Chain A
Amino acid sequence: MNILPFIISGLGIGAVYALSGVGLVILFRATGVLNFAFGAFGAIGAHCAWQLLEWKMPLAVAILAAVAVSTAISFLYGRIFAPMLSHRDTVVRAVGTLAPALVLIALMGIVWGELPRRLQFPTDLMFVSLFGVRLTYTRIIALLLAVVMVGAITLLLNRTRLGLDMRALANDRDLSAILGVRILYTETAAWIITGVFAGFAGLLLADLVRLQGTFLTLLVIPAIAAAILGQLRSLWETAVAGLLIGIAEAALTPFGWISPYRAAAPFIIALVAVTILGSTAKAVLKDR
């Protein structure tokens, strides 16, 4: 049995899981919020892109609009609602993000309905053949984008004042406030950054997987699994975990007895990760 084609096939979606996972971790590190609405932020952006393409707008405009819409919604939630929950438990703050997720799912349902749609980029038809599988340029772009964005965010955290503030907030919110870290400013910046990640991830997932609101919203689960494997701290570990989850899911395909259930792979990996990494995750939460 040749498993290589499946590994190649898993790379593209793995890269988007990586991108999503990193987007989640950045926000969690700076604000302590695990954003369940991440998928919905991306999905609405992707739907807007589809709509603009349908109206014969240029591709670049559609992509920019998608990222702009996702970022704007993330910013609005982060600036208006998230601060109201900022002194509550981590769990409450995470659950709070379910509200925008549900509202956005309903909104997408009303505006676009549940008919199947297809978001296509010209890069879907360009490809390199590897082991008998076409690796489309879209998948290659997803991989490159994941690497570039993780690199850029690492630089931001390590080299800029904003990054320093974010790291300080991540370590101790109250102490950071006393030391003069502009909490609201820093947190809002984190919501904007996660919104940009959501926009790109949403576009790529809509192209690689399917353009459907509920479905895209639920794809936050593999991203959370990746984030947990990265212990909600390490960007590179999260990225690698995301990639591996995508590949694991695809590589299970040729095994007949498990193949119909392989969509559960991210959940099981997350469950195992929570069990094994439980103590470290607790240590992370204690910091907050």
Chain B
Amino acid sequence: MRIDIRGLTVGLALMLLSAFSAHAAASCGDNTGKPATGEPIVIGAITGKTGPDDFSNSTKAAKAYFDCLNANGGIKGRPVKYLVEDDQWNPETASQLAAKLVNDEKAVLMVGNSSYVECGANADFYKKSGILVVAGVGVPRECYFAENYAPTNAGPRVSMLGAMGYALDKLNAKSVVCIGPNIPNVGTWSCDGVMLLAKEKGFAAQTILMDPGSADATSIILQAASSKPDVIVLGLSKGVAVPLLSAAEEQGLNQTITFLSAASVYDLSVPGTIGPGWDGKFYVNMEFNDLDAKTPDNQNWLAVMDQYGQKSDPRDTFAQAGYLAARIAEKALVTLDPSNVTRETASAAVRQIKGFKSDIFCAPWYFGDGQPRHNANSTTRMAVAEGGKWKVVSDCVQSPDPELKDIRAFEASAGLN
């Protein structure tokens, strides 16, 4: 047998390249490697980019996936034209942009939305227009109580109650203080869930609502500690939670009380920022899998981000949410006849989504056809701060939120999850 030196060299080079590259090649659609050239399918998205916080990581990841899909044959030859608009955290702007995308651009679906204000502003409009939203990140209650709006993330309430469930089951918590922001349909909604669970299960609970703009974290912490709780559960953004933890450490409370948080604080930088004083003492709920998880789909998400996203695009939970939303949309659209992709057919296809599996989710995602509201992601994991990193400490557990009764009943009747 003649040995082909050139072939050997190329093979060796390829092997080295794959060994040294961070992730395997991104896998999208049919993986044809040929760009889609047909008539574009218009998909819209609204995100809150400029404003109090940047929520656009979800749409950035969705865009990366659609770009990858378009480079690999698209939806049966048709590329996705993904139009992302910034609502600037302004409900009025959000309404105008929705009208633009739905009425003017004739979007067939909305995918990867991630906004604080958009759900409340547009839910009725989406219903009237007959368009479905497979959102990335929903925050306020409205995102989970609309007929045409289904986020991929769990949401602050379900996530916070996931943390609460862990505190009850694994940390033996008998009394709790819930701290949330005094933002309507966010802080009260989340802490009300804890109070409701307390009534059901018979543990002591107290709510503290705080102005996220308050300069005085120590007083909040002192107030929370005054009822001598076993655990304190936070439902705040990381920018507000970190100063509260610093104030608690200053008062020595990290030695006596265990702190937990909704997924809003699950960011890779947080354990390092809060320091070693919180090792093993600060737990956080994760709406999705570990950001570094070596599982195939999580690795594919990272590979898509590396090949089709910007280097500066964050690889965070919001990005996982957007990636999943794009994948779900793709799954719905490929079931259609490519010559007949309309809002009606696309909506009907999304309504049929059941058992969408990804290792980034704990449980398969479904749309919930005929349901007045949607919260498919309600099974979550927990992690704890340790040595400047998050360490996953629990398997997937269903959130004990009493408000999920209708969702659980639907899942049981439809044979889901």
Partner among A2, A12, A120, A263 whose Cβ is within 8 Å of the Cβ of B211: A263
Bound-complex Cα distance A118 to B245 (A): 10
Partner among A205, A250, A264 whose Cβ is within 8 Å of the Cβ of B219: A250
- Return A253 CB to nearest CB of chain B, in Å: 4
Residue of A nearest to B268 (CB): A115
Which of B53, B238, B242 has the most chain A CB within a 10 Å cutoff? B242
Q: Which of B107-115, B246-254, B357-365, B382-390 lies on the face that meets chain A?
A: B246-254
Chain A residues positioned under 8 Å from B220 (CB to CB): 253
A230 is an interface residue with CB less than 8 A from chain B? no
Contacts A116-B239, A116-B242, A124-B250 known; A249 to B223 CB distance under 8 Å?
Answer: no
- A6 to B214 CA separation, bound complex (whole angstroms): 14
Q: A134–B239 contact, CB under 8 A? A: no
Residue of B nearest to A214 (CB): B52
Contact A13 B216, beta carbon cutoff 8 Å:
yes
Closest to A251 in B: B219
Alpha-carbon separation in the docked complex, A212 to B237 (Å) = 13
| CA–CA, A13 and B397, complex, Å | 42
- Judged by a CB distance under 8 angstroms, whether A86 is at the interface is no
Partner of B215 from the list A116, A120, A136, A263 (CB cut-off 8 Å) is A263
Beta-carbon contact of B213 and A116 below 8 Å: no
Q: Which residue of A lies closest to B208 (CB)?
A: A259
Are B269 and A222 in touch, CB under 8 angstroms? no
Interface residues on A, range: 35 or more
Query: In the complex, what's the smallest C-beta–C-beta distance from A34 to chain B, in angstroms?
Result: 20
B304 to chain A, nearest CB (A): 23
Identify whether the interface residues of A are mostly helix, strand, loop, or mixed: helix
Closest Cβ of chain B: how far from A55's Cβ, in Å? 15
> B50 to chain A: closest CB distance in Å?
11
A249: B residues at CB distance < 8 A: 214-216, 219
CB distance from A244 to the nearest CB of B (A): 14
A96 within 8 A of B: no
Q: Is B198 an interface residue (CB 8 A)?
A: no
Residues of B68-116 contacting chain A, CB below 8 A: none
Return B306 CB to nearest CB of chain A, in Å.
21
- Given known contacts A260-B209, A262-B211, is B219 in contact with A6 (CB within 8 Å)? yes
Interface flags for A247-288 (1: CB within 8 Å of B; 0: not) read: 001100110000111111000000000000000000000000
- Please tell me which one of the listed residues A12, A118, A127, A262 contacts residue B246 in the complex, with CB atoms under 8 A apart: A118
Pick the residue among B53, B213, B274 that contacts A118 (CB under 8 A): B274
Q: Are B222 and A5 in contact (CB under 8 A)?
A: yes
Complex interface: chain A residues within 8 A of B242 (CB): 116-118, 210
Task: For B245, give the chain A residue with the smallest CB separation.
Answer: A118
Contact yes or no, A114 B269, CB < 8 A: no
Q: Mark B212-230, 1 if CB is under 8 A from A, else 0.
A: 0111111110110010000
* Chain A 1-48 interface residues, beta-carbon cutoff 8 Å to B: 2, 5-6, 9-10, 12-13
- Cα(A73)–Cα(B12), bound, Å: 57
A131 to chain B, nearest CB (A): 10
Q: How would residues 267 to 311 of chain B score, 1 for a CB under 8 Å from any chain A CB and 0 otherwise?
A: 101100111000000000000000000000000000000000000
Query: With an 8 A cutoff between CB atoms, is A240 at the interface?
Result: no
| Residue A133 at the chain B interface, CB threshold 8 Å | yes
Q: What chain B residues lie within 8 Å of A145 (beta carbons)?
A: none
Return chain B residues, CB-CB under 8 Å to A117: 242, 273
Assess the B222–A261 pair: CB atoms within 8 A. no
Would you call A82 an interface residue if the criterion is a C-beta within 8 Å of the partner chain's C-beta atoms?
no
Which listed residue (B53, B214, B223) contacts A263, Cβ 8 A?
A: B214
State whether B215 touches A260 (Cβ < 8 A).
no
Is B394's CB within 8 Å of the partner chain A?
Answer: no
Residues in chain B near residue A68, CB distance under 8 A: none
Partner of A260, one of B182, B241, B273: B182
A118 and B273 contact, Cβ closer than 8 Å, known pairs A5-B222, A210-B242: yes
Cβ-defined contact, B54 with A10, below 8 A? no
Of all chain A residues, the one with the shortest Cβ separation from B181 is A260
Cβ of B355 to closest chain A Cβ, rounded Å: 36
Q: Which of B211, B250, B270 counts the most chain A CB atoms within 10 A?
A: B250
User: Chain B's nearest CB lies how many Å from the CB of A6?
Assistant: 5
B55 to chain A, nearest CB (A): 12
**B243 at interface (Cβ–Cβ under 8 A)?**
yes
Residues of A within 8 A of B246 (CB): 118, 120, 210
Residue A209, interface by CB 8 Å: yes
Measured CA separation A2–B227 after assembly (Å): 12
Known: A114-B54, A118-B242, A210-B239. A259 touches B223 (CB 8 A): yes
* Docked pose: A127 CA to B269 CA in angstroms: 28
A210 to B210: give the CA distance in the assembly, Å. 15
Given the known inter-chain contacts A120-B275, A209-B243, A260-B210, please indicate yes or no for A115 contacting B222, CB distance below 8 A: no
List residues of chain B with CB under 8 Å of any chain A CB.
Answer: 53-54, 182, 208-211, 213-220, 222-223, 226, 238-239, 241-243, 246, 250-252, 267, 269-270, 273-275
Known: A127-B250, A253-B223. 5 other contacts (CB 8 A): A5-B222, A116-B239, A117-B242, A250-B218, A260-B211
Q: Can you give 16 A-B contacts (C-beta < 8 A)?
A: A6-B219, A6-B223, A9-B216, A10-B216, A13-B216, A115-B267, A115-B273, A118-B273, A120-B275, A133-B251, A208-B218, A210-B217, A249-B215, A253-B219, A253-B220, A259-B210
Which 10 A-B pairs have CB atoms at the shortest separation, nearest pair first? A260-B182, A116-B242, A253-B219, A210-B243, A263-B214, A263-B211, A260-B209, A9-B218, A250-B219, A209-B215
